[in-house]
């Protein structure tokens, strides 16, 4: 990317942040702009995202992540499962600094990127290099969080099985979805019940399309057999 192109993109990102996050503070916008710079810089070295244009990042990554901010309890311990490039966890932390954030991913190179991001943005977060299936069995993480979040990593049935073992009784799992959320929830209703949770859908009409967050509220301890290893039933 040439210096001129980088300058144009940064200026355009400033415009897009004003367009899609008009209520965000100047400090949050400044940090999101730096986040964008780091994302583009590191994306040339490791595969973080297919969306790199300023409008796409501002809308489909930053603003989309923040949709769940009002659904998380005050001072909650939140784990972002399969965080990838830090979505939705880091944008949520920026607008909800009261949240205690843990970012979990199975690829260490992504966590190296995220370490740089949290250092540059001046935020606190725990980074965990582990598969979700293993974290859910580990007593350090199992049923230790008030909320879990996951965005675009797998089907609802799999996400529920990865996230619900991590949250406490009376905790919630937020599963970010597109327009097919209702059908996905029907398919996953059996496993969500087995995981001792009840789910509903919170819908959002956004300039970038229909968005939904499936909220699974956990009412009892997760049976010990969950999460299962891949391929096991």
22 — pLDDT class (breaks 50, 70, 90): very high
pLDDT of residue 196: 98
Question: Which region among 25-39, 74-88, 152-166, 182-196 has the lowest average model confidence (pLDDT)?
Answer: 152-166
Question: Mean pLDDT, the chain, as a whole number?
Answer: 93
Digit-coded pLDDT (tens) for 94-135: 999 999 999 999 999 999 999 999 999 999 999 999 999 999
Pick the closest to residue 217 from 140, 148, 156 (CA basis): 148
What stretch of H or E contains 205? strand 197-206
Pick the closest to residue 142 from 231, 83, 223, 199 (CA basis): 223
pLDDT of residue 231: 56
Mean pLDDT of 9-17: 92
Digit-coded pLDDT (tens) for 40-85: 999 989 999 999 999 999 999 999 999 999 999 999 999 999 999 9
pLDDT of residue 232: 57
| Contact yes or no for 92/55 (Cβ under 8 A) | no
What whole-number distance in Å separates Cα of residue 121 and Cα of residue 140? 27
Mean pLDDT of 206-231: 93
DSSP 124-193: -EEEEES-HHHHTT-TTTTT-EEEEEEESSS-HHHHHHHHGGGEEEEEEEEEEE-TTHHHHHHHHHHHHH
Q: Does residue 2 carry a pLDDT above 80?
A: no
What whole-number distance in Å separates Cα of residue 17 and Cα of residue 163? 30
pTM of the model: 0.94
pLDDT of residue 89: 98
pLDDT of residue 107: 95
Q: Does residue 230 carry a pLDDT above 90?
A: no
pLDDT of residue 154: 86
Task: Give the chain's domains with CATH numbers.
Answer: 3-218 (3.40.50.150)
Interaxial angle between packed helices 156-163 and 181-194, expressed in degrees from 0 to 180 and rounded to the nearest 10: 40
């Amino acid at each position: 990317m040439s210096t001129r192109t980088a300058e144009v993109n940064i200026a355009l990102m400033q415009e897009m942040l004003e367009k899609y996050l008009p209520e965000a503070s100047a400090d949050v916008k400044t940090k999101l702009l730096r986040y964008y710079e780091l994302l583009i810089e590191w994306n040339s070295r490791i595969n973080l995202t297919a969306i790199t244009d300023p409008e796409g990042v501002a809308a489909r990554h930053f603003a989309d992540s923040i949709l769940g901010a009002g659904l998380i309890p005050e001072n909650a311990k939140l784990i972002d499962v399969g965080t990838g490039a830090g979505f939705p966890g880091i944008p949520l932390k920026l607008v909800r600094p009261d949240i205690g954030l843990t970012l979990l991913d199975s690829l260490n190179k992504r966590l190296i990127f995220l370490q740089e991001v949290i250092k540059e943005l001046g935020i606190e977060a725990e980074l965990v290099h582990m598969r979700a299936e293993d974290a859910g069995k580990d007593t350090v993480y199992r049923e230790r969080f008030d909320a879990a979040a996951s965005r675009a990593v797998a089907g609802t049935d799999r996400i529920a099985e990865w996230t619900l073992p991590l949250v406490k009784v009376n905790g919630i799992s937020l599963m970010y979805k597109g327009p097919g959320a209702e059908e996905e929830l029907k398919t996953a209703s059996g496993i969500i019940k087995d995981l001792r949770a009840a789910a509903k859908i919170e819908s959002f009409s956004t300039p970038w399309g229909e968005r939904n967050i499936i909220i699974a509220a956990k009412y009892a301890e997760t049976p010990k057999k969950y999460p299962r290893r891949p391929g096991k039933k």
